Amino acid sequence: MKAGLESLGIAVPPTYVELAELAKARGVAPGKYVDGLGVTRMAVPLVEEDTVTLAARAARMALDAAGATGEDVGMLVVGTETAVDHSKPVSSYVQGLLGVSTRCRVFETKHACYGGTAALQMALDWVRSGSAKGKKALIICSDIARYGVGTPGEPTQGGGAVALLVSDTPKLLAFEAGKSGVYAKDVMDFWRPLYSKDAVVDGHYSVQCYLDALEGAYKAYQEAAGDAGEGGLYSDRFAALVYHVPYGKMSRKAHRHVRALDGDKEPDASFDRLVGPSLVLPSQVGNIYTGSMYLALASLLSTSREDLTGKRIGLFSYGSGSCAEFFSGVVQPEAQARVKALGLETLLERRRALSIPEYEAIMAAREKLDEKPAEDTAGEGFRYQGTRDHKRIYTR
Ligand code: CAA
């Protein structure tokens, strides 16, 4: 049985910071952030946005794009590393906001940026096994990436969500059953202690951990696929490669490593062809943790000028701590037209730039957001209003 993405949806905050402006404010050469890290703009969520509202917005877009409703969903999972509660999952709030059926498995998954991929793989197996019985899985990757003002990680923040509607009628990407390689290792490269809103990171070590995991997962994929040694550079079997993208330069480092493993003497030469289109949207949003690789996939399908129909895409998901997976899928007819019709580039163009003081004020306000008394705020869409009686209140 086929299993894959029937549709996808994206949510990004309506506001961002220009990284060239942030660099100037921090006394750093703008080239370091824009060229050195490969990020132009960083999404900054407003105080009425959180992991729940971003997830609900992305899910709404994915359901609408497929002409589906909450009644069609039999599994609703949110992969996140910036949840809003130690016990109640983000997915339960989303279930309520979207009116998803009570006959549904609803839960949350966590393994840093890999949490969404863990949920996706579970959903694919659920569909392939026949247990879904025609129902769809709604997998949502939602996060607000936060390292804190003035830290080395500051220019690699961001926020947003990607929703993936998974079913036996994939209209975007059909994943290849059995073609997957995993790699997991207990490392302290990036984490967020229970008492902290900001992530703690050993930045340069995290880059090395990512590359080690990529190598392990890529080799495991080749063993699982059983087609290594059939001639040519192995990664040329993919029409595009989509890497987890905490910042654009990391994808370049990843691709260089993959091509070097293949024995390519010019590992950078294929970067624009195989990776370039997947970085157009991420360079405007920054890191969205669990959703980063899926935003890159949306970027590829939305901006590539090549007809990818029937072609194989390689995907690499990395979660610090660590767990990683290299897997693949085949692009379905009309997939690119369907994703283009979502108007994702226009969505990003319509955002408003924040001044650095405005951004810093939002960062400070977010410190106390979980305890903010709920107040009725006017406006459209899903919004976090604050807490009352220890309960988070959202507009529906
Ligand atoms: N013009 C152009 N380039 C410049 C420049 C200039 N004026 N000045 C510096 N650069 C380049 C540097 O040469 C360097 O490039 P290379 O990596 O190719 O050598 C790049 O800009 C960055 O410079 P530094 O390494 O000196 O930057 P830094 O030490 O301040 O921090 C960082 C970089 C470690 C990535 C930091 O931003 C960080 O800790 N980020 C968060 C952690 C992270 O994203 N890790 C990624 C792997 S882990 C993961 O993927 C999971 C996840 O989502 C978190």
Provide Rg for the chain, Cα atoms.
20
Predicted confidence band of residue 227 (pLDDT cuts 50, 70, 90): confident
**Which structural domain, as residue segments, surrounds residue 137?**
4-395
Written as six digits, the tokens of 198 are 């900001």
What is the distance between the alpha carbons of residues 156 and 55, in angstroms, rounded to a whole number? 21
Nearest CA to ligand 1 atom 15: 36
**Residue type at 346 in one-letter notation:** T
Is the per-residue pLDDT at 304 higher than 80?
yes
Residues 6 or more apart from 60 whose CB is under 8 A from it? 9, 98
266 as an active site residue: the answer is no
**Which long-range contacts link 266-270 to residues 24+ away (Cβ below 8 Å)?**
270/235, 270/236
Which among 266, 269, 332 has a CA at the least distance from the CA of 297? 332
Instruction: Give the residue from 139, 120, 116, 4 showing the smallest Cα distance to 62.
Output: 139
Q: Predicted confidence band at 278 (pLDDT cuts at 50, 70, 90)?
A: very high
Closest-CA residue, ligand 1 atom 12, reads 36
The beta-carbon contacts of 328-331 under 8 Å, at least 24 apart in sequence, are 328/175, 328/176, 328/179, 328/180, 328/221, 328/238, 329/4, 329/5, 329/173, 329/174, 329/175, 329/176, 330/173, 330/174, 330/176, 331/172, 331/173, 331/239, 331/301
Ligand 1 is surrounded, with C-beta below 6 A, by 29, 31-32, 35-37, 113, 152-153, 156, 189-190, 201, 203-204, 206-207, 210, 244, 246-247, 249-250, 287, 289, 318, 320
Catalytic residue among 111, 244, 255, 257: 244
Could you confirm whether 113 is annotated as catalytic?
Answer: yes
Q: Give yes or no for residue 303 having a pLDDT over 80.
A: yes
CA distance 217 to 213: 6
Domain count, the chain: 1
Active-site residue (options: 48, 81, 108, 215): 81
Q: Domain with 254 in it: what CATH number? A: 3.40.47.10
Q: What is the pLDDT of residue 317?
A: 98
What pLDDT sits at residue 231?
A: 79
What is the C-alpha to C-alpha distance for residues 243 and 239, in angstroms, rounded to an integer? 13
pTM recorded for the entire structure: 0.98
Percentage with pLDDT > 90 across the chain: 95
